[in-house]
Chains A and B, each alone.
Chain A
Amino acid sequence: DAKTTQPPSMDCAEGRAANLPCNHSTISGNEYVYWYRQIHSQGPQYIIHGLKNNETNEMASLIITEDRKSSTLILPHATLRDTAVYYCIVRVAGNTDKLIFGTGTRLQVFP
Chain B
Amino acid sequence: KAGVTQTPRYLIKTRGQQVTLSCSPISGHRSVSWYQQTPGQGLQFLFEYFSETQRNKGNFPGRFSGRQFSNSRSEMNVSTLELGDSALYLCASSLEAGGVQGTQYFGPGTRLTVL
Residues of A within 8 A of B (CB): 32, 34, 41-46, 49, 87, 91-104
Residues of B within 8 A of A (CB): 4, 31, 33, 35, 42-45, 48, 55-56, 58, 88, 90, 92, 94, 97-109
Q: Chain A interface secondary structure, helix, strand, loop or mixed?
A: loop
**Distance A34 CA – B98 CA, assembled complex (angstroms):** 13
Q: Chain B interface secondary structure, helix, strand, loop or mixed?
A: strand
B102 near A49 with CB under 8 A, answer yes
Q: How many A-B residue pairs have CB under 8 A?
A: 71
When C-beta atoms are compared, the residue in chain B nearest to A44 turns out to be B106
A42-B108, A43-B4, A43-B109 known; A97-B43 Cβ under 8 A:
no
A46-B103, A91-B102, A93-B100 known; A98-B108 Cβ under 8 A:
no
Residues from chain B with a CB closer than 8 A to the CB of A101 are 35, 42-44
A42-B108, A43-B106, A45-B106 known; A96-B98 Cβ under 8 A:
yes
What are 8 A-B contacts defined by CB distance under 8 Å?
Answer: A42-B108, A43-B107, A43-B109, A46-B105, A87-B43, A95-B98, A97-B33, A98-B58
Residues from chain B with a CB closer than 8 A to the CB of A93 are 98-100, 102
B104 near A97 with CB under 8 A, answer yes
A43-B92, A44-B43, A103-B42 known; A97-B106 Cβ under 8 A:
no
When C-beta atoms are compared, the residue in chain A nearest to B93 turns out to be A97
Instruction: Name the contact of B55 in the complex, choosing from A41, A42, A96, A102 (C-beta under 8 A).
Output: A96
Instruction: Name the contact of B100 in the complex, choosing from A32, A46, A104 (C-beta under 8 A).
Output: A32
A44 near B45 with CB under 8 A, answer no
Residues from chain B with a CB closer than 8 A to the CB of A44 are 43, 90, 92, 106
**Distance A32 CA – B101 CA, assembled complex (angstroms):** 10
When C-beta atoms are compared, the residue in chain B nearest to A32 turns out to be B102
Residues from chain B with a CB closer than 8 A to the CB of A97 are 31, 33, 48, 56, 92, 94, 97-99, 102, 104
